[in-house]
Copies of this chain bind each other. A is one copy, B any other.
Amino acid sequence: MSVEDTAERIQSMEVRGALRIAVTAAEAMLSEIMGGADIPSLERSAGVLKAARPSAVSLPNAVDYVLYLSRKHEDENTRIKRVEGFIESQRKARQKIAEIGSHLIEEGDVLLTHCNSTAATSVIKAAHSLGRKIRVFATESRPRYQGHLTYKDLSKAGVDVTLIVDSAVNFTLHEKNIDKVIVGADTVYVNGDVINKIGTSQVALAAHVNDVDFMVATESIKFSPQSLLGIQTQIEERDPREVADFAEQVFNPAFDVTPKEHIHQIITEYGVIPPEAAYHILKEHYSWRLEDG
């Protein structure tokens, strides 16, 4: 598909999900490379693609890394091989996370998860399919009840899952002897702070005070190179009617920020890392330099 078409499909949200956006954009760049595009032309394409959804953290990560590989490898074959390798690694990321994360779930563990994260549920299901006897508490995650998806997904996979309201987290952590909390991420800042669904910061706070491990599972493509530049994600405020339709005043933020101090580790496709290694991952796997910014 052409770069323009891809950009349009990303903009119209026909292509959505951090990983799919990254892979689709990288593939559009790969087509250009295969078609013999030179560096200035690839830079233009990169610009078009990144403009399609300025807030998507995976987009500049993918597009700029393809550019970086293209600049580094002048030989076309090597260039194509490396870009293909990068795309392949993205495709396998979730499976890798599930594999690695499953080692962190032990026989008899009681887990708690918030909202509905494919990375987090993949880890849980991988542990379950290894035969570990585990139990999961899932918050309903108001206002959009994404916790219902988590409940259904885990139930279908045969995992013992129990639903709770968001207000019952602190009580459940204590009363049900939760061993570990595992959630996903929307964006990981360079300093290790994690942006995720509203409520995540108070789940992490309660886990911290109850001395329960709090883990984040996420593909590294969600690590934010913009945060290296000090650019912060604006927390989106959503339609009040998601919360209640009778009320004239509703404050309905979609996300919040969990500070690094409350995160025990992050499970990525490149291994388990402390949150502060977000900086390292951006340098190591996306070759980010400020000059590229």
Contact = CB atoms under 8 A, between A and B. Distances in A.
Interface in A184-203: 190-192, 197-199, 201-202
A143 B147 CA distance: 14
Interface in A246-286: 246-253, 256, 259-261, 264-265, 267, 269-280, 283-284
B104 A232 contact: yes
Dominant SS at the A interface?
Answer: mixed
A58 interface: no
A171 B192 contact: no
A140 B244 contact: yes
Given A103-B231, A163-B244, A165-B243, A201 B276 contact: no
Contacts of A152: 246
B247 A205 contact: no
Contacts of A211: 174, 209-211
A290 B270 contact: yes
Contact of A164 (B210, B230, B250): B250
B151 A165 contact: no
Nearest to A168: B198
Contacts of A172: 251, 253
Contacts of A130: none
A83 interface: no
Interface of A: 96, 100-104, 106, 114, 137, 139-143, 148, 151-152, 155, 160-172, 174-177, 190-192, 197-199, 201-202, 205-206, 209-211, 227-232, 235, 240, 243-244, 246-253, 256, 259-261, 264-265, 267, 269-280, 283-284, 290, 293
9 contacts: A96-B290, A142-B142, A155-B248, A171-B235, A191-B272, A269-B290, A273-B279, A274-B275, A279-B280
